[in-house]
Amino acid sequence: MEPSRSFSEAGSGRATGLHASLHSSVSREWTEPHLHASQLVYPLFVTLEAEDKPIAGFSPNMQWGVGDGAEPYPGLIKHLRELGEKGLRSVMLFGVVKDKDPEGSMAAADDTPVIVATKAIRAALPEMLVMCDVCMCEYTSHGHCGVLREVAGDHEDVIDNERTIDILADVALAYAQAGAEYVCPSDMMDGRIHTIREKLDQNGFRHVGVMAYTSKKASTMYSPFRAAVDSTFTGHRKRYQQPVGSILHARQALARDESEGASVVLVKPALFYGDIIKEYAQRSVLPIACYIVSGEYVMLQDYAKRAGDLESVLKESHVGLLRAGASILITYFTPELLDMIPKWR
């Protein structure tokens, strides 16, 4: 009997040889997912201040000002028009306000920056998909994602889930009425997808999608974001955001959000959670989004500066998320990626 041979001894190795498929730049691309501009969502921070202002420690991201002329958000509209010419299709808005209170009243006020900016973008750039973050952390004086209540014998206030989801549904409706085509509840309350979906449907907004933050971890990766929204938050959110090491909570949340009428499910943060993205893609019939959050942005940016190769760092990190199963990438690197993607073809 002829002894078995190793691959190197066998020479040709037709079944397992890789060099032929790697030789051509064209055939290398056959095996990779391709990132399209339509898959990118650009997160933006909007304020009622007159001037546009860079965010310290989070450059070149901006707090976009409403301006002082007849047309609101002139700097933002100019910025988005330029990116639109490069293929940008979607933005996600976060509000930054000074008038914070325990109830987060500014979240749905007529003059809140998200509503003013949504109307401005839809008027100036009607082809742009506007998505609005639905949460209370940017608007509450305590910085939590919902209304708090006292519980006898507990050492800290806890989230009032039912009061919070009623408020969130009102916020989502206000954003839909302003022109948002997706509302994106990031609060992590139980039952909020059902309540929001019902509220939208009852008021003639069945066509407005709900992007559910389904796997949102109590992560250390959010600090630059909190600075960007002038958050007053102290403490932790471990009583309503999921443990960073748990996949069981992510599975339960997927079943919950799908059953309640989510249009898209989201994984946040993204880079350390490819296993959850992959499992969602295998289990769910819904599109999977992931959010490369502010701390991940800073990490990638810092490493790219050390490596001297931002393009390679962004391609590897973002395409890796597509490979895991995501089809929507919410990323602060959207402007850079719009310049890079054409070269990857």
Domain boundaries, the chain: 35-344
Task: Dump the DSSP string for 141-207.
Answer: SS--SS-EE--TT-SS-EE-HHHHHHHHHHHHHHHHHHT-SEEEE-S--TTHHHHHHHHHHHTT-TT
- Kindly report the average pLDDT of the chain as a whole number: 93
The mean pLDDT value for 96-116 works out to: 95
Write the pLDDT tens digit of every residue in 46-84. 999 999 999 988 989 999 999 998 999 999 999 999 999
Predicted pLDDT at 4: 58
pLDDT classification of 9: cutoffs 50, 70, 90:
low
Mean pLDDT of 237-257: 94
Output the six-digit token pair for 116: 């003013």
Residue 191 scores a pLDDT above 70: yes
Distance CA 200, CA 290 (A): 24
pLDDT in tens, 285-343: 999 999 999 999 999 999 999 999 999 999 999 999 999 999 999 999 999 999 999 99
CA angle, residues 335, 83, 221, in degrees to nearest 5: 30
Across 181-204, average pLDDT:
97
Helix (H, G, I), strand (E, B) or coil at 34: coil
Tokens of 85: 């010419």
332 labelled ligand-binding? yes
Residue-level length of the chain: 345
Confidence of residue 253 (pLDDT cuts 50, 70, 90): very high
pLDDT by residue (tens digit) across 217-235? Answer: 999 998 888 777 877 777 7
What topology is assigned to 35-344 in CATH? TIM Barrel (3.20.20)
Q: Does the pLDDT at position 2 exceed 80?
A: no
Lowest mean pLDDT among 13-22, 27-36, 107-116, 299-308: 13-22
pLDDT range class, residue 17, cuts 50, 70, 90: confident
Q: Using the predicted structure, report yes or no on whether residue 3 has a pLDDT greater than 70.
A: no
Residue 13 reports pLDDT greater than 70:
no
* 294 is known to lie in a ligand binding site: yes
Residue 73 annotated as binding? no
Catalytic residues: 216, 268
Q: Is 226 annotated as a binding residue?
A: yes
* Local confidence band at 12 (pLDDT 50, 70, 90 cut-offs): low
Amino acid identity for residue 153 in this structure: G
